[in-house]
A and B are shown apart, each in its own frame.
Chain A
């Protein structure tokens, strides 16, 4: 580990800085407060020295060196802004732009593009090239989600390296070579990876772009709101980007304790309420009405009982509190559906530092995608992954061994001594095996729904009561003919056969405040990144209003809710 090495002193642009021996010059410069321009270098991936943008002048070295691949040594004297260094940087940019289309006005990356920024800050300002530029294919759909512009690509390999080093599925590669090399997949196939969206963030030019977001906004027009992905129980930290209060895209925020700086495609693209028909007004028996009247009818129906209050495992804690109060006061049943709940002990950090990881039939890759990337971090640091079961395992490339049963695993792996700790075990039966192996890592059956960890104690809903209060945006099972339903949801109610008696429109999680508990038990706040439809209310507010219509005194938590509003 770099920390263990003795520190060395280097002088960068006259600034003295002490860093562990072996630190990359680019990182030492950051510590000295010196900015060296980069394209291919990314602190989360191995340096490759592909783009040559980071050329610097190191005393006693005959030629300019790439700061991203050069480890520092004692007494190194580095100039990043002297004539030699700046001439090199200017030359690199000039060559890079020789064939770059410079179609910034129609490029989505414009305004947040490292190529633009570096050119302004470190470039020549004018081009001496008069030759015509190369013409290549533009806006090639690599997948449903991503388009590639070959003219803009600068072959920095960040995208290829992400899919190889971080995701591990090598879904992208560099085809052909030299002047004709290009990013791509096998002919006739598409760029299929549950993590492909991260390459859009990583691409330092407008070569890889989101089809969902393309041409919808300019970076300087965006309002940016920190929030939490509502896609699953990992609880990735995100930033919501809206234009004129309308949501346009979602990007990751770094949180080393949770999502590092990644998002899965499902979270990034599919949890946004875009292209989904919204429920816009309350309705009773299919007739649009006001909130007041809908609440009145709902209260009446609920009082006629017997009632079951059924919550989705993705509603906020505040809504869950209100739903619990309503159920208690109505003496109604309270259940959760679908039962994607669960609990683990210890944290994602403990998983990342584990030396042994055992998955008991849990396909983390699909169920909790970004957690799979965190598992891979543990494996890269020398951990080993074992899978028990016959089902799908998206991490098969990284799995050391697969066993049919827990007994087989124990027999095969523990016969010559204990497995290296910390041991993390995830999936059904994790607790028992955890005790047997005295596991010190993350152990348990994690929730998979966004707030599933908060609902672990709740029974599974029965859908048997004649009156059912359904809270949250789920594809609820079809109702039996006898029952009456009140639904609180944000998407237009689906099946006509299931038309609920009363519907109340909710705000989407990205349009409201509230808190969610992720799989390791961390409470995180949602913040509204966009405006909800006029008549839609946050889930907790809608339930508080319903409680009021039922003359149920607001629980103490509802004051907190009011403060959040």
Chain B
């Protein structure tokens, strides 16, 4: 089966025709189709917000790489998401300076407050808790975290208490924790 046949075989695509068209055009721009995998996945994610296995498989078939190879790429880049995100995304920096100033404790407190594991989303879909793979460049105010692209810094003492309350509110868990 060649690439085109494989495309034809997957009749019920999880992607819209418009997005598939964009992916096809994008992949066609590279001398090696494989190079188009990363941009193709980004285009798919614009539509589906995260990349569940059927979407990864479809994009892989369109580009002509194995499903395993496409999954390798998706799991390597943290900005390609394999799980849906909540309305509020709390990303805790856990790189060295933050780690030295208690990032792991912060992450643990948040996980306990939200009753989820890092990487997961509250069952009501309100808050996603993430452990960052990159330094946010705010080490001088460690430990810190990023809430929907906004920084919350120096998260100790009073600031920490206020922040935990903020996150609980966002999660709709107000007053449930003592």
Contacts and interface: CB of A to CB of B under 8 A. Distances in A.
B53 interface: yes
A173 interface: yes
B72 interface: yes
Nearest to B57: A186
Given A170-B66, A177-B76, A186-B53, A399 B2 contact: yes
B43 interface: no
Nearest to B78: A177
Contacts of B57: 186, 189
Contacts of A189: 53, 57, 67-68
A391 B3 CA distance: 14
B6 to A, nearest CB: 9
B66 A176 contact: no
B114 interface: no
B1 A173 contact: no
Interface string B54-79: 00110010001111111110011000
A185 B2 contact: no
Contacts of B60: 186
Interface residues of B, number: 18
A402 B2 contact: yes
A173 B2 contact: no
A471 to B, nearest CB: 38
Interface string B64-104: 11111111100110000000000000000000000000000
A176 B60 CA distance: 17
A393 B60 CA distance: 19
Contacts of A108: none
Nearest to A392: B1
Interface string B25-57: 000000000000000000000000000010011
A396 B9 CA distance: 15
Given A393-B1, A396-B1, A173 B69 contact: yes
Interface residues of A, number: 21
B75 to A, nearest CB: 4
A188 B52 CA distance: 10
Contacts of B76: 176-177
A315 B78 CA distance: 57
Given A186-B67, A392-B1, A399-B2, A173 B72 contact: yes
A175 interface: yes
B2 A184 contact: no
Contacts of B3: 396
A520 interface: no
B2 A186 contact: no
B68 A186 contact: yes
Contact of A169 (B66, B71, B75): B66
A171 interface: yes
B71 A173 contact: yes
Nearest to A187: B53
Interface in A382-403: 392-393, 396-397, 399, 402
A399 B69 CA distance: 20
Given A176-B75, A177-B76, A189-B53, A171 B1 contact: no
A45 interface: no
Contacts of A184: 68, 71
A173 B53 contact: no
A292 interface: no
A171 B75 contact: no
A185 B53 CA distance: 10
A400 to B, nearest CB: 11
A413 interface: no
A172 interface: yes
Interface of B: 1-3, 53, 56-57, 60, 64-72, 75-76
7 contacts: A175-B71, A176-B76, A185-B71, A189-B57, A189-B67, A396-B3, A402-B2
Interface of A: 169-177, 184-189, 392-393, 396-397, 399, 402
Given A186-B67, A396-B3, A399-B2, 17 more contacts: A170-B65, A170-B68, A170-B69, A171-B66, A172-B68, A173-B71, A175-B72, A175-B75, A176-B75, A177-B75, A185-B68, A186-B56, A186-B71, A187-B53, A188-B53, A189-B68, A396-B2
* Among all A-B residue pairs, the 6 with the closest Cβ atoms: A173-B72, A170-B66, A186-B67, A173-B68, A186-B71, A175-B75
